Amino acid sequence: AIYSAVPLAICVIDTSRTIRYANPQLGDLTGKALEDLLGGTACGAFGCAHANDSPLGCGHGKACKSCGILLAITETFKTGKPCQEVKQELVLIRNEKPVRLTLACSTSLFKIKDETRMLICLQDVSEHTRRMQDAELQLKFQHIIADISKRFISLSAGTIESSIQITLQKLGELFLVDRSYLFRYSPDMKTMRMTHEWCAPNISPQIDSLGEIKCQSMPWWTRAMKTMLPLHIPNVNDLPPEAAAEKAEFQREEIQSIIAIPIRDTNNQLLGFLGFDTLTVQYEWPADHIGKLQITAEIIAGAIIRQRIQSKLREKERWLRLSQEHAKIGTWIYDVKIGNFQCVGRTAALFGIFREDYSMTLEEKLLLCNQDDRSRLERTMLACLQGKGPQSLEFSCIHPDGSQHFLKENISAEIDERGMASRLLGLVQDVSENKHYEQAIRASQEAAERANRAKTEFLSSMSHELRTPLNSILGYEQLLERDATIQGKQLEYIREIADAGNHLLVLISDILDMARIESGRVELSIEDIRCCTLLQECVRLMQPKAQEARIEIACHCDSTLTVSADRIRLKQILLNLLSNAIKYNHDGGSIIIKVSEEPGTINFSVEDSGQGIPEHRMKDLFTPFNRLGREAGSIQGTGIGLAFCKKLTEMMNGTISASSEPGKGSCFYLKLPAATKKTYNNKEKKNE
C-alpha cells in the first residue's frame, strides 16, 4: 500500500532479475498491465527499444551494456551498495509507438527470509530534463547571438562572409542537424544559389555540386518562400502532390527533415533563406526553436542588407571620385575652431599637392594662391562666416612645377545650434581649361566681328559699285525697247536683258539692305498704322502677278486694327511674304491673309496653297542665301528675303515664324506690337 501511494514507479526483483512486485505507477510508466509485468524480467518490462534492436535505440542490441539502469542494477547486486539517481534516456515502446523518456533510477538491496531482493525506484524526469536542456540551449543560443552580432558589426565583405559561415556551424551544432546553409535568390527571382554551407562529420557537402538552381524547377518551394513564413517539413515523405518535384529532389539527397527560414530586406523583398537538414532521423522542430532560427535569420538579413548598402556606397564613392578627378573637382572642410582645412580625397592635387586627405592651415592655403588673390579669398571666407550666405570666387595658384591654374570655389557655412558658423564647406574646381576656352572664344568672336564688319563694308561698297553701271544698262535697254525698228528676236533678247538686269538690281538692293541692317545703319520710324489700309496697298501691288498665275488673294482684316511699326519696312515684309506665296504657289491656287488681335499684339498670317516645305528644311528657313534646295528650279530668288524679313521684324520688337505641310502649302505668322488706342486717337485728331 505504501509503494502504491508514492509518486514513483517501483518494482522489486530477485537475483535472477525477475520482477516479484510492481506498483501501478510502473504500469503507467511502461504502458503495460501489472499482471504482464510480474514474473517477467526487468529489461522485458521496460520494453526498451534497445532490447528489440530498434534503430531508434543506441544500437547496442539486447545486452545493452551502456544502459545506466542496467549498470546500476548490476553494480548494486555486485557490491551491495545502493545507487542514487542514475539518469538514463530510453526509448520505450508504448502501444507499438516509440516514446523517448529520461528516467532517474535508484537501487538498493534488502532481505526477505534470507533471500536477496532489490528495490528499484524509477521517476520520469523527462519534463525537468527538457526544461534544463531548454535553459542550456537558450543560454548557448544567447551566446551565439551575442557572438554573431559582434561579428556583424564589422561591415567588411570578408568579415561578413566568414561570420555567416561560423553562424551556420554554431547553429548546426546547437540544434544537432546534419547540414545548415544559406541560399540567395537572384534579383529577378529566376534562380537561387547556395552561398554558404556547414555539414556535420561524415555528411557530404553540396555547395559545389548544386550550382545555380532555376526557381521554375521548384515552383512549390518558391511559392512557399514568397509567403515569408518558415517552411517546416518534419517528414519529406509527407510532402503534398503539388510538391512532387521538390520531394524527388530531397529524396535524391536523402533528406529526412528540412526547415527553411526566409530572409527578406527592409522592403519585404525575398533575399534568400536559411536551411537546416537532417539526414539520419526525422525531426519535428519545436516552435521556440523555430523562433530562434527566425531571430538569427533577421540578424543575417540585416548584415546582408548593410553589406549591400555598403557595397553600393563604395561603388558610388568610387564613381564620385572618378567623376571629380575627371571634372577636376574637389571638396574641403574648414574647421573654424582649429583653423584647419581638410582636403577630401585628392582635392589637394588641385593646389599642386599630390597627397590624399591632406590638411593645411589658412595661412598655408593662402601661400598657395596668387598674391593678388589672397586678400579677396580672405574676404570671401569672412563673408561666409558672418552669415552672408554662400559665396563664390575665382582665383589662380601656382603649382610647384611653375604652371598657373585657375580655380573656382563655392563656399557655404554649416551653422551650429547657437546660430554660429562651425564649419565651412568648399567645392573647388580647376577651371583653367574653361579660362583658356573663354580666351580662345573671345578671340574668335572678335575676329568674326572684324570679318563680319569687313564683309558688310565690302557688300555695301560692291552694291553701290554694281548698281551704277547696272542702272546705265537698264536705261539703254529701255531706249532700245522703245525703238520701233527693233522687232522679233532682237526685241526678245532686249527684254531678257531687262529681266536679268531687274533681277540683279533686286538682288543688289537686298544685299545692300542686309548690309545696312548688319552694320546698324537702318533707322526705323515707328508709327501707328491701320492694318487694313496697308494690306490693301500691298494686295494692289501684287495683284497683277497673282492674276497672271490665276491665284486668288483673300484678305480678312478688321478695319479698326492698328499696329505700331515702321510703315515702309512693314510693307517690305508683307510684300516679300506675298511675293513668295505667289511664286511658290500653283496655277489656280489661293492666298489667305488674316489679321487678328491679342492683348498688346497684332497677328498677321499669310497662308498659301503651294507645294509646301519639307520638315527637315524648316530649320534653315530664315538662313541668309539658303533657298532650301530650290537653287536649280525655274523660280528666281536670292535666298535672303526671309532672313531680311526676320531681322526687320526683330528690329520692330516682333517675331516671325512659319508652319508648312508638303503638298498642301505654307503659312507665315508675323507678330508686332499693337498701337495703343490713346496714341492712335491723338493721331486721328491731328489728321482731322
Percent of the chain surpassing pLDDT 90 = 28
Q: What is the pLDDT of residues 59-94, one digit of tens each?
A: 444 446 667 888 888 899 999 999 988 888 777 777
Helix (H, G, I), strand (E, B) or coil at 515: helix
**Span 666-671, average pLDDT:** 94
* Mean predicted lDDT score pLDDT of the chain: 83
- Please name the helix (run of DSSP H) or strand (run of DSSP E) that holds residue 479, with its range, or none: helix 432-482
Q: Which pLDDT score, from 0 to 100, does residue 484 have?
A: 78
CA-closest candidate to residue 106, choices 84, 81, 76: 84
Burial of 306 (0-12, 13-18, 19+ CB in 10 A): middle
Q: Which pLDDT score, from 0 to 100, does residue 27 have?
A: 85
Q: What is the pLDDT of residues 448-490, one digit of tens each?
A: 878 777 766 776 676 667 767 877 887 877 888 787 788 788 8
- As a whole number of angstroms, the distance between CA 177 and CA 135 comes to 19
- As a whole number of angstroms, the distance between CA 287 and CA 578 comes to 92
- As a whole number of angstroms, the distance between CA 621 and CA 628 comes to 7
Strands 665-673 and 655-661: antiparallel
Inter-residue contact 305 to 286 (CB < 8 Å): no
CA-closest candidate to residue 195, choices 230, 164, 231: 164
Sheet holding 359-361, edge to edge: 359-361, 340-344, 329-335, 421-430, 404-415, 391-398
pLDDT at 226 over 70: yes
pTM: 0.45
Q: What is the pLDDT of residues 334-368, one digit of tens each?
A: 888 888 888 887 778 888 888 877 888 888 888 88
What distance separates the 2 farthest-apart alpha carbons in the chain?
181
Burial of 332 (0-12, 13-18, 19+ CB in 10 A): buried
Q: What is the pLDDT of residues 197-208, one digit of tens each?
A: 999 998 999 998
495 CB neighbour count, 10 Å cutoff: 13
The alpha carbon torsion through 140, 143, 144, 145 (nearest 10 deg) reads 120
Size (the chain), residues: 688
- As a whole number of angstroms, the distance between CA 278 and CA 263 comes to 21
Residue-range domains of the chain with CATH: 2-124 (3.30.450.20), 134-311 (3.30.450.40), 328-430 (3.30.450.20), 437-519 (1.10.287.130), 526-683 (3.30.565.10)
Label residue 192 by pLDDT band (50, 70, 90): very high
Structure-block grid coordinates of residue 13: 526483483
416 CB neighbour count, 10 Å cutoff: 11
Higher pLDDT, 634 or 473: 473
DSSP string, 51-108: GGT-TTS-S--SS-TT-HHHHHHHHHHHH---EEEEEEEEEEEETTEEEEEEEEEEEE
